[in-house]
Amino acid sequence: MQTFAGGLVIADGVFTNSTGPMTVVGPVLQTAGVFGGDGTVDALTVLGGTAVPGAGVLSVAGAVGFDSATTFDAVLNSADPAGGYGQLVAGGPVDLGGSTLVLALGYTPQVGHSFTLLTTSDAGGISGAFAGLGEGATFTQGGFVFQITYQGGADRRSVVVTCVG
């Protein structure tokens, strides 16, 4: 377990948890580089660089904000939501800000496999979209075709991608 008090500013380089889930007390501001792993942070603002939830859950107690210079890199090692793929779970509103979605495939997905990549419990829900991927859009990654929704889950506050071909 790694615990950081006072938040983090990541201006370059790679920051990931190495010995179990991380806990960051305070906001994380990323302006370049890579931030990722499993654990809990208070708030996450990524204004460039790459956000990579580990093959588990990165929980954000508050808001999540991305911009168009940000890449959200989702690791997909299986269709099992219990550690098979990366998820970001937010307690506050989420603004995707035209960021780029990348799926890092660590296995061969089957047609019908769905992945809840990002979800929020906040009534404000999810605003914005990934670059070039409007509601219901299909896209190809790793030779597979996926469809995206920003209104997934029982509460319609989740980004879900489903393998459709």
Residues in CB range of 159: below 8 A, 6 or more apart:
96, 116, 117, 118, 119, 126, 148, 149, 150, 152
Residue 159, domain extent: 2-163
57 vs 19, which has greater pLDDT?
57
Q: Nearest 5°: phi and psi at 88?
A: -115, 120
The confidence score (pLDDT) of residue 23 equals 85
- Looking at mean pLDDT, say which of 19-23, 36-40, 89-93, 151-155 comes out highest: 89-93
What is the sign of the dihedral through the CA atoms of 128, 133, 137 and 142? Answer: negative
Report in angstroms the alpha-carbon separations of 41 from 1, 9, 26, 120: 13, 12, 7, 14
Q: Which residues of 131-153 are buried (b: 16+ CB within 10 A; e: fewer)?
A: eebeeeeeeebeebebbbbbebe
Question: Which residue bears the tokens 């808001």?
Answer: 63
Q: Which residues contact 123 (CB under 8 A, 6 or more apart)?
A: none
Instruction: Report how many domains make up the chain.
Output: 1
Residue 19 banded pLDDT, cuts 50, 70, 90: low
Q: What is the mean pLDDT of residues 43-47?
A: 93
Amino acid letter at 7? G
**Token pair for 125:** 């829900």
Whether 21 has a pLDDT exceeding 90, the answer reads: no
For the stretch 64-123, pLDDT in tens is 999 999 999 999 999 988 888 999 999 999 999 999 999 999 999 999 999 999 999 988
pLDDT computed for residue 112 by the predictor = 97
Q: What is the pLDDT of residue 154?
A: 87
